[in-house]
Chain A
């Protein structure tokens, strides 16, 4: 059971880490547009201009 002494603090750290990552991802607008990026990947933007 000694492993608990490691696991419990790790779980606390993980909670804060996950919280922080989620906060950052919301802040940086990753949840603002849930559809656009999915389509963007399908668009060809590296084609040369038709001459």
Chain B
């Protein structure tokens, strides 16, 4: 017992208490059993360092335990970090955090600045709408706990991001905000009751001491409004002050503070004017506006969160699959590649994999934006997060956890959300200057009115401070971009870079790669022409029989197109590079290149046949010893929705260019079908790159659409790139946008959303500038009272948010309209399969 104070909480140890805990090899005095238990737990967990490292005592003994278990040092443990920290390089780490206490766009700036100044922090990006932070740091130079402590030092709290926590935080934030609004509203009504009689009473109607009593009553009711409801404004302003900068809360806090202080002074000295009614009213309107804005914001960011929640928590694993169908329920995170799971109808597929058994269809709408179910049969790939619809599927798991397609999608969406596009940065900078200017103007107004009419000087200054706060300005762009990104993701076009929406809307040239982009990338039988005794169907089935063992895409195309007729073939042999041959009831038949087949019988190709082959597609022939039997034209099939998309892009006045490495004949044919007039064919990857560079040199904003794998250099060169996202390369793609559904109609829709969102941003900016420039002179000349200012400011921010939400609404409406087109589209697709 070396001191009279509790070692844990620092409070005085009562004389009749004798409790202690061994910490650092010495018994330490404790003031109560609660502290003793906590301290014991800390010591037992090997966290006694807490006492060496702490520089402040815990607030309340009761909260000390969770605070330690939540304790910052714990975040440095590798096991604990596993769930939310990713290794980027040897020593580079990246963590996904969620921040509590973000109230305005300025908080984002503050945190970013503060964090990026820490030695060892490589980058910090925050998102206002989701309140999520992505921090990268060098592990040798700084620890995660130091970063979290730095965030705490400026008055925020950071937690590792997980969806449940995020939801809980949102709920807590909403509840706190609602209470503040309620207190302000209640206070406002009561204060008004005391203010009205004073307004209505004529000269001498009211005894001075009654009026004075009313003032004191108003003061009592305004106290909770100012100190509880308006506390966030003051906290924000204080934070800004400490960092010697002006934020969104500074003018508001100044206004509320000044009006309240003046009123208190007037009440105490029984002189002058009181403004309690104005103060309460405008705190109420500001908070009300902020609450509505918050609700709208939380509503708007649901997409990523919804995706993250898609993966089911449990899976039914069939351990001894082919032998025994007994399934056990395991946690989905425990699945390993190679496991076999059974997915019942209506259940969600727990991981990426391949169907082993069962025929069903899966709804992948949330993953690809494609609303029609996709059929699944043995051998089909399935995506975790999709919902199995018809009948049970046995699936062999191929990818789990972070490696799944869904995780890749979520990560890409987060990447987009974390980046701050240039236009947003610009708006933030302007808003910062604007506030400084505003403070200067407010001082000038105060001085001017002091000389004109001292009794009005205060409330006019307060109005100026409040009405012109540029909140709407700094919200205008980010909210619109967030909503647009969500709307596009629902349409199957994933935004992975923050600038993508803006650039897509501005693109003047849409450059398409051909294979896998405008065409499906799969070989398909386009046409067949019988030349001999056999009819079309029999020729086809004979050709398919000849190709039965072939792995070549042409063989697959023929098999797909052929009927089920069975041919008895002997001595099936393939001549690599030429074709295949076999004996059909003793006679030799050949399938393959024209020359190869022609050399079998030595007859020239008929004229109709020559025309048939001249179209640029791959032509192959079927023949026997007596002559030609048939010709087949096989090619890459143009996507059915491509023509409509090209037409709509051209109708918007954008140039559509087909840029391909294929031969000119093939490219021209595809261009003709689609109505593309600019074709650049036969170019190497370097040539494609040069072509795009040339376009850009001429002032074009190029949107490049490619399959994402083979044309990475040209995708990187274009201002905005769109990659087809069907493949497994999703995680590695660097494109700005990913067309998950591979449905070009969704790209068309995405371009429309991007264009509309640019319009909405423009409206928002015009509105917020116009509002500020109209409101400022009005307030300066005394036409706006503080409560009007409160309505004006929250109204302007709210309008910006609601206007941005329209992007979502429009998209839904369009979705319904397009919904009628879906069935047709689906038929085409299922026909393909």
A-to-B contact residues, CB < 8 Å: 1, 4-5, 8-9, 11-12, 15, 19, 23
Contacts and interface: CB of A to CB of B under 8 A. Distances in A.
B611 interface: no
A12 B348 CA distance: 57
B188 to A, nearest CB: 11
A1 B183 contact: no
Given A4-B213, A8-B214, 7 more contacts: A8-B194, A8-B217, A9-B217, A12-B190, A12-B221, A15-B186, A19-B186
B195 to A, nearest CB: 13
A4 B186 CA distance: 21
Contact of A1 (B190, B210, B217): B210
Contacts of B221: 12, 15
A8 B213 contact: yes
Interface string B170-191: 0000000001000100100010
B207 interface: yes
Q: Which secondary structure dominates chain A's binding surface?
A: helix
Contacts of B217: 8-9, 11-12
A35 B193 CA distance: 35
A13 to B, nearest CB: 9
Interface string B207-226: 10010011001001100100
Nearest to B219: A12
Interface of B: 179, 183, 186, 190, 193-194, 207, 210, 213-214, 217, 220-221, 224
A1 B207 contact: yes
Contacts of A5: 210, 213
8 contacts: A4-B210, A5-B210, A5-B213, A9-B213, A11-B193, A12-B217, A15-B186, A19-B224
A19 B186 CA distance: 8
Contact of A19 (B183, B213, B214): B183
B178 to A, nearest CB: 9
A19 B224 CA distance: 11
A5 B179 CA distance: 31
A15 B207 contact: no
Contacts of B224: 19
A5 B429 CA distance: 54
Nearest to A15: B190
Contacts of A15: 186, 190, 221
A1 B210 CA distance: 9
A50 to B, nearest CB: 35
* 4 A-B pairs with the lowest CB-CB distances in the bound complex, closest first: A12-B217, A8-B217, A15-B190, A12-B220
Nearest to A4: B210
A21 to B, nearest CB: 12
A24 to B, nearest CB: 13
A29 B194 CA distance: 33
A20 B103 CA distance: 26
Contacts of A19: 183, 186, 224
A4 to B, nearest CB: 6
A11 B214 CA distance: 11
Contacts of A9: 213, 217
Contacts of A8: 194, 213-214, 217
Nearest to B183: A19
B332 to A, nearest CB: 31
A24 B628 CA distance: 93
